[in-house]
Structure 1
Amino acid sequence: MNTFSKAALATTISFSMLASGVSGASGAASKSIIMQVNNVPLPGDVDLYVQNGSTLVALNMIRSIPGVTINWNNTSKTVTVDNNGTKSTLVAGKKETMVGDKKVTLPTSSVMKNGRVMVPLRFIADASGSQVYWNAPDRTVYVAKPTEDMLKEIQSSDISIARHGAYSLPRIAKVNVLSGEEGDSMAYIRYFPKNQSSEFFEQHMDIVNYYRIIDTHVELLWSARLNLQQEAKNASLPFLTNKIVEQSGKMPTIQKGVVYYNYSVPGGTTFGTIDKAGKKTRLGEATEDQARQMFFSIPEEEQL
């Protein structure tokens, strides 16, 4: 499997893990806080926690942010973060920090815990140039900072490349992520509205999620559970032909046809179109090259 497909598969797996494992105890204060950097859940030897309204995370957990290097001076207890040449410094136990040549006061001071430097999320955002979001109901911290390759892809005039870029961008969930049926199915259906790459849907078993590019990341804005045993017409989303029994966020409206890519391991990739009346046309099975690309041109899209 090439890098093109590996990145997308990692995204699929990490969001599937999140959907199946986090929201089932949504809002439970005892649930451990999860931190994701560019769609990948990070392991940590020190639990994240909330103090005075601020989420503190272990400094070493942000080493995977693109373009960021971290140095720790044990003598002066000073952290130096280099973000593509812009340096930020923070002294353990203090609220004041320098981001480049700008002095910033954090909502809470950094602390030492179990031999680790714990820093507030505000510092991560300022020092790394990332977008950081705390989803309280799901107790998940999202850190999003796209690579240059991702940004080039979403700006491509080739819609297949642009769609891959959109799918690969760091994701932030702004709504509760609904949990689905239990099972280890690796079958996913991705839907893109006609000639669009900036928004898409992904269905895994009975859960369908809606994503849209916001600035330089993708936001999960709607999550729904389907009753796969009951067919129903959905006026706002005619390509979904099962009854919606639960949802989180605001349902989008797509009044045009969509293309779909049905990816399954094992089983391969099939693809087709669904017109604005909900009529589905299976067009075939992807070639080996198309499957590696994940998203590819579907000429019939123009007739939708």
Structure 2
Amino acid sequence: MSGDAEPYIENGSTLVALNMIKSIPGVTINWDNTSKMVTVDNNETKSTLVAGKKEAMVGGTKVTLSTSSVMKNGRVMVPLRFIANASGSQVYWNAPDRTVYVVKPTEDILKEIQSSDISVVRHSAYSLPRIVKFNVLSGEEGDSMAYIRYFPKKQSSEFFEQHMDIVNYYRIIDTHVELLWSARLNLQQEAKNASLPFLNNKIIEQSGKMPMIPKVFIYYNYSVPGGTTFGTIDKTGKKTLLGEATEDQAKQMFFSIPEEEQL
């Protein structure tokens, strides 16, 4: 999200413009200019904060902030932790990139993640807010719109996404998705990766912890233009193209593959 005031760090706390909270699902705010009080409504759970004070009320509980809120250039700047508590979000700090993540999924996504249809669950898993806690590898220059997404057979809680020479591994943790591993591939050099059989190129650089998932994988290969193809990759790395998605399937991003049930 972007705001009309730059975040800054003071006494070890990150302060952000309070109005940025409006971008978080299920949250509304109200400002009383007379009392200098802001009220945050998170799905009918209310929190209040007076500009310049170090105390706040979060859902009826008095909390002490790490630093006082301040008025700066006409904007109320508050500790990021207050944003998290008042909005029911989770906050994470990526020190290498100096990036703060505030994550909160929508109610619709949380409902979809409980579906009995694996294609719906995969879509919701892919749509969950993501965080990164280490430096992400940058890939080759280019404007390729080709992406390949891999899921272990009959699973949705973890997945891989490849764009050109970079492949990233994500896993659902709590109510967000976290990037746990990133690798650069040499697309000109083939190599077997027993722990990740779908990868058939040599890994030349990596960040994070490499997972070990020696299973059958389902893949969705998206290309614009070019359409969407899908198939399977067995434990030896053998790739089987099952077909090309229909227009309706391509719009869904992830769709049921009957052959997956037979693997």
**TM-score interval, normalised by the smaller of the two chains:** over 0.9
SS in 2 for 1:125: helix
Per-residue CA deviations over 1:50-72 (Å, capped at 9, x if unaligned) read: 11111111111120111100111
Q: Describe how 1:58-207 pairs up with structure 2 within 5 A.
A: 58-207=17-166
Q: TM-score, normalised by structure 2?
A: 0.96
Per-residue CA deviations over 1:124-158 (Å, capped at 9, x if unaligned) read: 11100011111121222211111121011111111
Per-residue CA deviations over 1:87-144 (Å, capped at 9, x if unaligned) read: 1111112211100110111111112222211111110111000111111212222111
SS in 2 for 1:63: helix
Per-residue CA deviations over 1:144-201 (Å, capped at 9, x if unaligned) read: 1111210111111111111011011111113322211122221111000001011100
Q: Which moved more, 1:176-185 or 1:116-125?
A: 176-185
Separation (CA, whole Å) in 1 of partners of 2:62 and 2:205: 46
Q: Given the alignment, which residue of 230, 255, 261 partners 1:296?
A: 255
Q: TM-score, normalised by structure 1?
A: 0.84
Amino acid at match of 1:64: S
Does the Cα contact within 8 Å between 1:93 and 1:111 map onto a contact in 2? Answer: yes
Structure richer in helix, relative to its length: 1
Separation (CA, whole Å) in 2 of partners of 1:244 and 1:49: 38
Q: Describe how 1:50-61 pairs up with structure 2 within 5 A.
A: 50-61=9-20
Q: In the alignment, which residue of structure 2 is the partner of 1:235?
A: 194
Give me the identity figure in percent: 87
Quote the offset at 1:303 in angstroms.
4.2
Amino acid at match of 2:256: S
Q: Describe how 1:23-62 pairs up with structure 2 within 5 A.
A: 42-62=1-21
SS in 1 for 2:23: coil
Moved over 6 A (4+): none
Quote the offset at 1:79 in angstroms.
1.3
Q: Which moved more, 1:50-59 or 1:120-129?
A: 50-59
Q: Does 1:215 align with 2:186?
A: no
Separation (CA, whole Å) in 2 of partners of 1:119 and 1:203: 38
Separation (CA, whole Å) in 2 of partners of 1:93 and 1:182: 47
Max radius of gyration: which structure? 2
Separation (CA, whole Å) in 1 of partners of 2:38 and 2:181: 38
Aligned-residue RMSD, C-alpha: 1.2
SS in 2 for 1:112: strand
Separation (CA, whole Å) in 2 of partners of 1:242 and 1:116: 51
Kindly tell me the number of residue pairs found equivalent between the two proteins.
263
Separation (CA, whole Å) in 1 of partners of 2:35 and 2:132: 38
Amino acid at match of 1:84: N
Does the Cα contact within 8 Å between 1:175 and 1:222 map onto a contact in 2? Answer: no
User: Which one scores higher on RCO, CA 8 angstroms, separation ≥ 6?
Assistant: 1
SS in 2 for 1:62: helix
Does the Cα contact within 8 Å between 2:194 and 2:236 map onto a contact in 1? Answer: no
Q: In the alignment, which residue of structure 1 is the partner of 2:233?
A: 274
Amino acid at match of 1:204: H
